[in-house]
Amino acid sequence: MPSSAELDASDPLARFRERFVAAPEVAAYLDGNSLGRPLTASVERVDALLREQWATRLIRGWDEGWLELPMRLGDELGRVALGAGLGQTVIGDSTTVLLYKVIRAALELRPGSADAARTEIVIDRDDFPTDRYLVESIAAERGATVRWIDEGDVTPERVAAVVGERTAVVVLSAIAYRSGFLAEIPAITSIVHDAGALMLWDLCHSAGVIPHQLDAWGVDFAVGCTYKYLNGGPGAPAFAYVAQTHHDELRQPISGWLGSVRPFEMGQGYEPAPGIRRVLSGTPPIVGMVGLTDSIALIEEAGMDAIRAKSVDLTEHAIGLADELLPDAALATPRDAARRGSHVTLDHPGFEAIMPRLWERGVIPDFRRPTGIRLGLSPISTSFAEVELGVRAIAEELAAAR
């Protein structure tokens, strides 16, 4: 296995690390799949927004670009990282709110017939809690039924076993938040469509690190956050993708002024705006949104294929180091790179106890109960040396705790 130094020396993305704000007290940041590092340019852009645009232009800023920012940034994100044509991606609410809007809208689009009403929502039993909680809540709200995928990793075969004539919408994560398992998005989307249902992908752990072709894959809907691999900042607003074919019929449940056809007329009765803007509800969170501009530009400069290639190399390196230094830990992440996202989860009963010591040392991984340490490896900002330092620190602290 090549050394960390050799891998860093040959890394075509290494030059981008200097564009991120340095954190001198952090020796190894291995949690980029929870919160990405800030770009220096993003910090400067937010500062300029506060000091120059907000402070001097005041309310005039809305007419000078703010109002169109959700659609403009959405188009850029769609083009650079999602494989989405113009007018299909918008940035606005939190992930939870956008998921609620889109799941509800998808459920209403598939009413079915009297003989076979489409009243079932399919989801993975091990999906992220928010997704599961929302599906259960929406099912209760709308009199629908939840169909669970129970058997483990979400494969095409397991999806095919639960979808049918009563399925309205399938809600799945492209990458499993705990294990890092990467789903076969095109194959599963095709199976869902063959059953007459709609497909919604949660891209929180894949946007910005896995190349997507949402248009080409025929995906109906997608939602994802922007504060992980997209480096938008803590609580940065999420994005929603709605395929063009659904725009005219889509009715999302939170009817706000900005999503109406003529928002500044303040008229009686809600009529949705044409196109993707109908997904919006209230005033866009400009301060939380502007940090995305430089991150999207950086992703385009680096190239999604190069980002994915380094992601594979980083996770491969982490797994090799874990095999060597943590032989008692169980690997919860697929060894097959084609089925692996950009984080690696290791399980050991002693991991939870050593987390405070790791953080004291400036080694920042993530812990997922009951026994998992997650190494979130952001290809643009993470070095191979960081990965080795982190895995060695875990091994040292685990040995010291025995």
Instruction: Tell me if residue 101 is catalytic.
Output: no
Instruction: Tell me if residue 128 is catalytic.
Output: yes
Instruction: Tell me if residue 264 is catalytic.
Output: no
Question: b/e for 144-154, b at 16 or more Cβ within 10 A?
Answer: bebbebeeeeb
Q: What are phi and psi of 8, to 5 degrees?
A: -65, -35
In the set 177, 227, 229, 239, the catalytic residue is 227
Instruction: Tell me if residue 374 is catalytic.
Output: yes
In the set 104, 118, 147, 228, the catalytic residue is 228
Report CA-CA distances (Å) from 98 to 27, 174, 217.
Answer: 35, 16, 21
In the set 104, 229, 374, 384, the catalytic residue is 374
Instruction: Tell me if residue 228 is catalytic.
Output: yes
In the set 11, 127, 202, 313, the catalytic residue is 202
Contact 272, 261 (CB under 8 A): yes
In the set 20, 128, 181, 229, the catalytic residue is 128
What amino acid positions are annotated as catalytic residues?
A: 128, 202, 227-228, 374
